Structure 1
Amino acid sequence: MPSSTPDFSLPSPEGDSVAPFSVQVADSALADLTDRIRRTRWADSETVSDDGQGVPLDRLRALLEYWADGYDWRKLEARLNELGQFRTTIDGLGVHFMQVRSPHPDATPLLLLHGWPGSFLEFVKAIGPLTDPASHGGSAADAFHVVIPSMPGYGFSDRPTGTGWDPDRIARAYHVLMERLGFDAYLAQGGDWGGVVATRLGKLRPAGLRGVHLNFPEYLAAPPVGTEPTPEEQAALAQGGRFFQQHGGYHILQRTKPQTIGYALTDSPAGQAAWIYEKFLAWADPDVLSTDEILDHISLYWLTGTAASSARLYWEYVQHPLGLTELDLPVGVSVFPQELTRTPRIWAERAYHDLRHFNDDIAAGGHFAALEQPQLFTEEIRKFARAVNQ
């Protein structure tokens, strides 16, 4: 029986050590992927003229044809190995992360946290503007040292073999990571699951965490609605309701039966591609993402075999449901115009008692803000950092 273990080596440093990591996917894994794509057993075409039933057949066929015959994983691999990747062991789990230091030694350390179906790749285009602002419309005072981990069960981090890796545990692990890297003061930023983990990190409020910036707050899953909702609240509730009615199937499956859906996605490149492609088409501005950028994410999930382990984070989250997570440290919220639910300011004010930055007037961007609009994303982080430092 074929193994589900990825074909590249994942070193597990001992103790508190940090080891450089290089991505080297075996040729056999890429050949196997191409072979599987070419042997796809296709479903019938949809019976509607839009994407109301899911990714249209002709669109997915075109994506897979390019994946097999045009896409170059090695190009991404080379780029990642140039930037600087590492692995370390925290709480018994191997954690992968990128660390890119600014040329400005006094730069602010910044922890960047991704969600699903994104990955640490979401932030690659923002690394330059964040770390070297003088070359991207900013000043040295805006510089950041960036740390971009892969969530447990995602990408090149280990896949947990037991339960308990919920957002609170991940938050604790990430603080250990920042301490291990020698950062005694830092900011955290996140959207999607990254927003949840950043929020829980803010609740933990470890020494050194100076503030949290969010582009998709945790409370959007259970909004802090007033007894008499304002028109802005009513609009946000309606938007969130439409999203879950039209697009919420993945959420129900992954929070209840992640193992079952994991078998299908781990065995079929077409299934894995459709599962993720649908979200990028619906949650992002399709005009700003290239096919290669979308396939980078799909390929990462496929080659690391993380369909089930990444989905389990949804299951972990609902095992210990909590109410509103209120924060007292500095918080910033950036509302991108094509976000799944556009949070009203009043919700942020109810949840965050030291709201330093709130902006719902951003020119462009959706759920994958850093990937879609790296410059606008960077500007939001700069504004928040200035508000914390003033």
Structure 2
Amino acid sequence: MVPWFYASLLQLWIVLASATAANTQQPLHAVKPFRIDLSAGVPHMYDLLRRSHLPAKEGYPGIGSTAGIDLSVLKSLKKEWLDDFDWQHEEKELNRFHHFTTSIENITLHFIHERSSDPHAIPILLNHGWPGSFTEFIPVINDLTKVSETSNGKPISFHVVVPSLPGFTFSSPPPANWTLEDTARIQHTLMTKILGYETFATHGTDYGSGPSYTLYKNYSDTVRAAHFSFVPFLPYLPEQLAAANITLNTTLEKDEQANALVWRTAGNAYFSVQATKPNTIGLALHDNPLGQLAWMGEKFISWSDPRQGTPPSVLTHTDILRSVSLFYLTKSFVSSVYTYYQNPTTFSPTYPDPGTLPTDLGPMLFSAFKYNVGYWPPQLLEKIGNLVYYKNHDFGGHFAGVDNPPALIEDLREIGTYWNGTAL
């Protein structure tokens, strides 16, 4: 080849290299594509399942699920896990999404990032809780990226980011003194410095409401809207509602309050164990897939709408088995329950004085679901943020993304009605 061709080729390479460098804004935070491959641990998991034994019958007949997971249900789940569940198929389905990892403050953070084709889409970060994971948002991700309309006809779509909380599934365990406020900080870094979003919205449920609320309250210049189906404040007891002159007028509200009271008085023993003795339960179940199924599966069943598996619910036994398999195969059960130990006061009994909140808070939206384990009437939510939207649903429970995906999608889209950030 003639010398001028080499010179031109070199010049082209320099231009391309310069352009690539200019578009790379995170030299200290490399983003790596990630593919789920947990097949190596599957034979051991099934071997343990086959060799595990359950009692032939209930020691105390007639108690059903009043004392925890029903023996017959656990037997059925175990049988389905061994005979019908296909981890390779589930892994393939999960890998249809774009997974990534990055390192922030020595935490390996796993996340799904699905971008809309709409250049005006709103970036949104969705935070899961326990015993959920990123998988509880799988049914809503694709629909959120599609261009649709809000209730007042405004076009709306989202760039969707679903991180795994530190210590959950593919995100590395955090150090001992790690809090959900720390999680919010690295998630803010992820969204702004790594993914390059100048403003974004967030959604949170269960323990994921902690970092999402911190993002909403402490980073109000960039987090311009928030949606919740759970908040990091304890719901009021009946006597507290009465003292605050809050009256529940509808049957749905009264049912929700009753469900929340059952959890508060008889359904939170696991919380006390995980907040005080995470090692005991964590190590006991670390290499025990059937034990993890009993411990976590009971929560999926009892916290969800009893009509689970019938539309609009997409929560089936397969979803429960996929979630438990994911925790077992990633060996993250212990680190996930440590979240409670590290953050025992996340759900505060004290609501903030409105005068202490930032004056530039973005809009806050809330979705209530009949069978959730917490109930907050609008008067309580107005204490913690700029509540602009409140929707009560008579179908669904704690895991809205699988309990009632259409309702969650519709309510999240209402962010577009109130959005005053600058979407990219």
1:110-138 alpha-carbon deviations (Å, 9 max, x no partner): 00000000000011110121001459999
Matching residue of 1:374: 405
2:375 paired residue among 325, 339, 342: 342
Matching residue of 2:190: 177
Q: Which runs of 5+ in 1 are unaligned?
A: 1-12
Matching residue of 2:4: none
Answering whether residue 104 of structure 2 is matched by residue 90 of structure 1, we say: yes
1:2-32 alpha-carbon deviations (Å, 9 max, x no partner): xxxxxxxxxxx993110000111133x1110
SS of aligned partner of 1:163: coil
SS of aligned partner of 2:371: coil
Mean CA deviation greater in 255-264 or 203-212 = 203-212
Amino acid paired to 2:187: Y
SS of aligned partner of 1:176: helix
Answering whether residue 284 of structure 2 is matched by residue 264 of structure 1, we say: yes
Matching residue of 1:54: 68
| Deviation (angstroms), 1:221 | 5.4
Amino acid paired to 2:207: W
SS of aligned partner of 1:146: strand
Mean CA deviation greater in 313-322 or 31-40 = 313-322
Matching residue of 1:8: none
**In 2, Cα distance between the equivalents of 1:142 and 1:320?**
32
**In 1, Cα distance between the equivalents of 2:285 and 2:90?**
22
**In 2, Cα distance between the equivalents of 1:241 and 1:348?**
18
1:326-380 alpha-carbon deviations (Å, 9 max, x no partner): 654121111112211221111011222x2121112x2421110011221110100
- For this pair of structures, how many residues does the alignment match? 374
Amino acid paired to 1:230: I
SS of aligned partner of 2:419: helix
Answering whether residue 48 of structure 2 is matched by residue 21 of structure 1, we say: no
2:331 paired residue among 305, 329, 336: 305
**In 1, Cα distance between the equivalents of 2:128 and 2:216?**
16
Taking the TM superposition and a 5 Å limit, the aligned residue runs for 1:291-370 are 291-318=317-344, 323-325=350-352, 327-328=357-358, 329=361, 330-352=363-385, 354-360=386-392, 362-370=393-401
1:207-252 alpha-carbon deviations (Å, 9 max, x no partner): 3110111101111357885744423399566543321322111101
Amino acid paired to 2:101: R
Matching residue of 1:274: 294
Structure 2 length-normalised TM: 0.82
Answering whether residue 231 of structure 2 is matched by residue 231 of structure 1, we say: no
SS of aligned partner of 1:232: coil
| Deviation (angstroms), 1:385 | 2.8
Q: Which runs of structure 1 show a deviation greater than 4 angstroms over 4 or more consecutive aligned residues?
A: 134-140, 221-226, 233-239, 319-322, 325-328
| Deviation (angstroms), 1:41 | 3.1
**In 1, Cα distance between the equivalents of 2:280 and 2:336?**
13
Larger radius of gyration: 2
Mean CA deviation greater in 328-337 or 102-111 = 328-337
Q: 1:222 to 1:260 in 2, by over 3 A?
A: farther
| Deviation (angstroms), 1:164 | 2.0
Would you say the 8 A contact 1:185–1:208 is kept in 2?
yes
Would you say the 8 A contact 1:107–1:141 is kept in 2?
no
Taking the TM superposition and a 5 Å limit, the aligned residue runs for 1:63-142 are 63-134=77-148, 141-142=155-156
Q: 1:228 to 1:126 in 2, by over 3 A?
A: closer
Percent of residue pairs bearing the same amino acid type: 32
Root-mean-square deviation over aligned CA pairs: 2.6
SS of aligned partner of 1:195: helix
Amino acid paired to 1:316: Q
